[in-house]
Structure 1
Amino acid sequence: MSKTVNISSPSQFNDVLRGSKLVVANFYTDTSNASQQVAAVFEQLSHALSRPNLVTFTKVNTEQQKDVAQAYRVTTIPTFIIFRNGKVADRVQGADPIKLQSVVNKLSEEVQNLASGGGEAGGSGSGSGSSEANWRGAALPRGYNDITDQIELRSCELLNVDPDAGNVRVLFDTSKPSALSEGKGGAKDWVESDTDEQLLLFMPFQSMLKLHTLQLTSLPPSDDDDAEVPLRPRRIKLFTNKPHNLGFDEAEDLSATQEFELSEQDWNAEGTANIPLRFVKFQNITSLVLFVVDGDGDGEKTRLDRVRLIGETGEKREMGKLEKIGDEPGE
């Protein structure tokens, strides 16, 4: 007998999220061939990993439960969303059994830990895995979580990046930056600007967010004699709810949601600046554009090692309220 829970209402889905530490939801339709291709794999995983009050596998027919699908911005069929403590932790879009298996392999490790009394899934409740696996350059503001995992990595775009440095994904790596580690070899896990100091980073989100704090880590080498040593960001502009990245001229001219100027005193010993945002202006956010206008010094390049978003996810609201989020104007 299948252990998978078939969702028949938004309230039932909310009950499942509240009643299980880990939830794997299969958003599907009966008419989708892609859904049918991975249905058997999903059922096998459900049978092997389901645990009462710990791990629950659910199926959500998006044609019958449109409110649930809309609340979690499901646009691709099938989509598999993994929830940890009621928050979106990961998602797999499309009939990709290899990716699904990879995500579930991580899940199985958590299942074993939970079943053996290893504590809460997700450690501190940040939605990004255990505290040991997640490096942070600054403490979390009281009452808020690290929600960087809500960034849709595949759709991120970084303009004016030096191809010899890392790519955009390294900015959201959960590991400690190599510049702070004893062994500094291997791939470059930071980004640098290319032709001048400016960078334009576009970050779309998997769900509606409330942003409270932006944490930036920049760890340029301390070689004062080298004119090519990159700089830390100085002036920064933020733009919200843009459907795509901006151009540099456009970013220069547009009025920003918030802009600020960092000084040497803003960077802590971990190379991280903890930047409070005007919370009232960062409600119901679907995307963020970060524009590094210039660097703090006379060089021609700026460097970023990590970007962290701190705040709340829309999934913390009740389903009925989530349905209205898209109709509320952003600040």
Structure 2
Amino acid sequence: MTDSLVQVTSKQQFDDLLSSSRIVVADFYADWCGPCKQIAPLYASLAEQISRPGLLTFVKIDSDKNQDLAKEYSVSALPTFLLFRNGKVIQKVQGANPTELKAVIEKLASELESLAEGSGSGSGSGSGPAWKGAEIPRGYSDVTSEIEIRGCELLNADDDAGPVRVLFESSKPSALTQGATSTAKDWVQSGADDQLLLFIPFQSTIKLHTLQITSFPPEGNTDVSRPGVIRLFINRTSNMDFGEAEDAEPTQEITLGPEDWNSEGTASIGLRFVKFQKTTTLTIFVQRGDGEADAVRIDRIKLIGEAGTKRDMGKLQKMEEDE
């Protein structure tokens, strides 16, 4: 077993891996299985090339020794490769099919690189398990990885702060790191006034349950505040302008006060789940900051809910076909 491959010996160990790594690829095999042995070198090679601690983890599960896991995930043929995102199965590859397995994993790795693009070497999300600004509600998962980063647009952003992509980093905000020496600006801030307008497209249809926003205005600086009033809109085909965001009926409007922010600087906002069942885009309009400050700042945004099937599946096998 190489350093890039984790041999799973218990359900608890596997559950821990699912919670500590954003993406997990699991190879269910048996020692007596010829096709399993045939494809094992390719799987090990892919693990060696692509695995990233805390982000993309490759594991092997002996189905004979872990019959509880094989039963839980309905493994009926060997080998079976299951791909997990945020703890949930998103794809399945059955049999020793090198071409399909390689295509599936390389596509997944490419998407992961796109998400992590620009995160910086000092605070990259590959340095360990993702930072949590607040607890994730039971029964749901972090679906921030479903965001199409390149399609995001932020209006009224201060050019001296960070780009929009820093909002979705899984690393701990620099404002929380004592003695941090990094000069990277891993937050966004409004420019002309205390309004921000953020457009977020998704790679798949999302069910949104909770919006987590982290904000750390500089201590002693009364010119910058946390968001105070937020209006949410879903399924717009492009970003709104500020006039439209002011006048249109929002899907939900939220008012935040000092009591809503925890010790990690995060407000965990419960959404009207029935209204966010089929979300393809989310527009976040910070209508005003909390107080009289001239600018508003956001360090991180995390989205909690359930991810659907990607719209462009390519060769990937949809799980619904197996159910």
Scaled by the length of structure 1, the TM-score of the pair is 0.60
Aligned partner of 1:189 in structure 2 is 186
What secondary structure sits across from 2:288 in the alignment? coil
The change in CA–CA distance for 1:308 and 1:131 in structure 2 (over 3 A counts) is farther
Inter-partner Cα distance in structure 2 for 1:133 and 1:52: 16
Q: CA deviation at 1:136?
A: 1.2
Structure 2 residue 153 is matched with structure 1 residue 157: yes
Instruction: From 229, 233, 252, give the equivalent of 1:239.
Output: 233
Instruction: From 74, 78, 89, give the equivalent of 1:86.
Output: 89
Aligned partner of 2:140 in structure 1 is 144
Which amino acid in the other structure matches residue 148 of structure 2? Answer: E
The question of whether the paired residues in 1 share the 8 Å contact of 2:24 and 2:59 is answered with no
Instruction: From 159, 173, 178, give the equivalent of 1:177.
Output: 173
The question of whether the paired residues in 1 share the 8 Å contact of 2:26 and 2:60 is answered with no
Residues paired across the two proteins, number? 226
Alignment map for 1:1-331 (pairs within 5 Å): 22=25, 48-49=45-46, 84=85, 85-87=88-90, 103=109, 132-184=128-180, 185-223=182-220, 226-228=221-223, 230-315=224-309, 318-319=319-320
The change in CA–CA distance for 1:246 and 1:321 in structure 2 (over 3 A counts) is farther
The change in CA–CA distance for 1:47 and 1:217 in structure 2 (over 3 A counts) is closer
Q: CA deviation at 1:237?
A: 0.3
Q: CA deviation at 1:49?
A: 2.9
What secondary structure sits across from 2:159 in the alignment? coil
Q: CA deviation at 1:321?
A: 11
Inter-partner Cα distance in structure 1 for 2:184 and 2:246: 32
The question of whether the paired residues in 1 share the 8 Å contact of 2:90 and 2:319 is answered with no
The change in CA–CA distance for 1:45 and 1:245 in structure 2 (over 3 A counts) is farther
Which amino acid in the other structure matches residue 262 of structure 1? Answer: L
Q: CA deviation at 1:183?
A: 2.6
Listed as ranges, the gaps of 5+ residues in structure 2 are 1-22, 28-40, 48-57, 62-82, 92-102, 114-124, 311-317
Scaled by the length of structure 2, the TM-score of the pair is 0.62
Q: CA deviation at 1:86?
A: 2.0
Which amino acid in the other structure matches residue 197 of structure 1? Answer: D
What secondary structure sits across from 1:302 in the alignment? strand
The question of whether the paired residues in 2 share the 8 Å contact of 1:21 and 1:86 is answered with no
Which amino acid in the other structure matches residue 145 of structure 2? Answer: D
Q: CA deviation at 1:45?
A: 6.3
Which amino acid in the other structure matches residue 283 of structure 2? Answer: V
The change in CA–CA distance for 1:46 and 1:281 in structure 2 (over 3 A counts) is same
What secondary structure sits across from 2:161 in the alignment? coil
Listed as ranges, the gaps of 5+ residues in structure 1 are 1-19, 25-43, 55-81, 89-96, 108-128, 323-331
Inter-partner Cα distance in structure 2 for 1:203 and 1:272: 19
Q: CA deviation at 1:103?
A: 3.3
What secondary structure sits across from 1:252 in the alignment? helix
Q: CA deviation at 1:260?
A: 1.0
The question of whether the paired residues in 1 share the 8 Å contact of 2:222 and 2:293 is answered with yes
Inter-partner Cα distance in structure 1 for 2:266 and 2:141: 17
Which amino acid in the other structure matches residue 284 of structure 1? Answer: K
Inter-partner Cα distance in structure 2 for 1:293 and 1:45: 52
What secondary structure sits across from 2:225 in the alignment? coil
The question of whether the paired residues in 1 share the 8 Å contact of 2:154 and 2:199 is answered with yes
Inter-partner Cα distance in structure 1 for 2:227 and 2:24: 39
The change in CA–CA distance for 1:87 and 1:183 in structure 2 (over 3 A counts) is farther
Inter-partner Cα distance in structure 2 for 1:191 and 1:166: 5
Inter-partner Cα distance in structure 1 for 2:126 and 2:210: 21
Q: CA deviation at 1:53?
A: 6.0
The question of whether the paired residues in 2 share the 8 Å contact of 1:192 and 1:301 is answered with yes
The question of whether the paired residues in 2 share the 8 Å contact of 1:209 and 1:286 is answered with yes
Inter-partner Cα distance in structure 2 for 1:312 and 1:101: 21
Which amino acid in the other structure matches residue 103 of structure 1? Answer: A
Deviations 1:261-287 (A, max 9, x none): 000000011100010000000001111
Identity across matched positions, percent? 50
Q: CA deviation at 1:52?
A: 9.2
Inter-partner Cα distance in structure 2 for 1:242 and 1:300: 28
The question of whether the paired residues in 1 share the 8 Å contact of 2:25 and 2:59 is answered with no
Q: CA deviation at 1:234?
A: 0.4
Higher fraction of strand:
2
Aligned partner of 1:125 in structure 2 is none
Which amino acid in the other structure matches residue 320 of structure 2? Answer: M
Inter-partner Cα distance in structure 1 for 2:154 and 2:145: 18
Q: CA deviation at 1:87?
A: 3.1
